[in-house]
Chain A
C-alpha cells in the first residue's frame, strides 16, 4: 500500500475523531434535555434533533452549504472572522458531526432515561447541589450508554459521504476522506485501488463495531 493511502486513512480517522469530539458536549446536553424536559416543544425538539438520521445526507449537506456559503446567512460572518468552512477540513468535520450527532443524542437520551431519578434526589439530600448530583450520580450511571453512542457516532463519521461532499468537496490532500476517495477512484476507472481503499474501510468498521461490542459486553460493576 502507498503512503498516500496511509495518509488518507490517517486523515479519515482524524476527521471522524474531531467530529465525534465536537458532538460530545452538545450530544450529552441534547440527550439530557430530551430525557428530562417535559415541557412544551419537546416533540418538536425530538424531531428536529433526529432529522439528520432520516433525511438524505445530500439534503443536509445542501442546507449546510447554503447556510455557510460566502453569500449565505452565516458564511459571510464566518469569513469576516477568518473562519472559512466550505471546501476546507472544517467543512468535513462540520458535515460529519451534524450527520452523526443524532446517534449520540439517542444513546445518551436512553442512558439518562435509565438513571433512576430518585438516586439524583437522594444525592441532593446528601448535600449535592444539582450540578454536583449530575456529575457524581447521573453522568457516571449514564456513561456506558454515552460511550456506546460515541463509538456509534465515530463509526458513522468514518463513512460519511453525502453531506461531506457538498460542504467540503472532494479535494485530494485537503478534504478527501476514504469514502470520497473510493468514489473518485471508481469514477476514474481505477477499480483495483478503489477496492483496496474499501478494504481499509472494512477494517476500520470492524474495529469500531468490535469496540462497541466490547463496551456493551464488558462486565459492569453495577449490573447484577
Chain B
C-alpha cells in the first residue's frame, strides 16, 4: 500500500488499477482522502471507466481498489466484489433514474427499508415536494438531486459522481452545486467527482486527479495544480481566467468585496461576506465578460478597469481570443471579442488597450 507523506489519517481510497480500454490501457495509482476528489481530463481519457471500475462494473479491471482498508478488488488474490456488495454510490451523468418508479421509490430503491437514511437523503436534497412525481416530470437539476439522494440513501462508503452537472445549463448548475457542497459537508464521504469544469473542481474538491490518455498526469491540491499546462487547457474549456488572490475587505454599503490578486491587481467583486478578509480565493472571469476599449474609458459602471497590452490574437471559432498582458502585476487575461470589434478597435499584437470587467461578472471560487 502506498502511503502519502504529510497526512496523519490513512487514505480513504487506495487505487492501483490497470484497465484495458478501446484505445489504450488506463494505468493509475493514487491515494485519496475522505473528501471530494475532482477527476479531470480530456474526453476519452478514461474518467467514466475509472468510476465504473471502482463501482465493480468493469470486469476487465486489474489491480487493487481498497476502500477504508477493505479490498473491493485485489486481482492478485482473485478477489473482485460484486457491485451490489461494494456499497459504492454511483451517480451517472444522465442521473439514470428508474422511469417506472416515483421519486420516493427511486430514493428507497437501494435503502433496504432503512427509513432514517431515506429521510436524511430526502431532507438534504429537499425532495419533499417531489416525492410523488415520476422522473419524466422532473427538470434536469431535480433529476440529479434525486439520483444523488438515491445513492446517499444506501449509506454508501464512497460516492462516484460522473459529471453530475454537465447535462445542466449554467444557471441550473449554480442551483445544483450548493447541494453537492451540502452533501460534502454533512456526509463527509470520500467522493470522486468527474468534471470538465475547473470552476466546479475548485469550488467542490479538496484533491484533484488529472488524467491524460491512459495515465495520471497530475494529482494534488486543485489550486496548486492550476499551473499544470494540461489543467490550464482544461480551464480554457470553461472559465478562461482564473486568478488566485486574497480577500482584502468587505464594503457592505457599497455592496462590494475587494480582492488583491497574487499579481498585485486590485479587483472589486460583488459582496460576498462569507469569505473573511485574508482568506484565499480564486477569481473566475469568462473571456467573453471582459470589455476592450481603445482609450481609457470614463463614466463607466464597471469597477475594474486595467491597462494592458495585446500579446496575441487567435481566431477561435467565430470569435477572436486575445491574450492581454496586464501592465500592473504582469498577469494575463484572455478576452473574447468578435472579429468586427477587432477591426473597429484596430486591435493587433503590441497595441495598448483598456480592459474592463463588471463586478458581477467575477465569481469567487
Contact = CB atoms under 8 A, between A and B. Distances in A.
B212 interface: no
B100 A140 contact: yes
A146 to B, nearest CB: 13
B306 interface: no
Interface in B76-134: 82-84, 86-90, 92, 96, 98-100, 109-110, 112, 134
Contacts of B84: 124-129
B100 A125 contact: no
A119 B106 CA distance: 12
A122 interface: yes
B154 interface: yes
- Mostly, the A contact residues are helix
B233 interface: no
A25 interface: no
Contact of B57 (A125, A141, A224): A125
Contact of B83 (A118, A119, A124): A124
B82 A124 contact: yes
A159 to B, nearest CB: 34
Interface residues of A, number: 19
Interface residues of B, number: 25
Given A127-B110, A224-B136, A122 B92 contact: yes
Nearest to B86: A125
Interface in A92-133: 118-119, 121-129
B57 A126 contact: no
A221 interface: yes
B287 interface: no
12 contacts: A122-B90, A122-B92, A123-B109, A125-B83, A125-B84, A125-B110, A126-B150, A127-B87, A127-B112, A129-B82, A221-B100, A222-B134
Interface of B: 55-57, 82-84, 86-90, 92, 96, 98-100, 109-110, 112, 134-136, 150-151, 154
Interface of A: 118-119, 121-129, 136-137, 140-141, 221-224
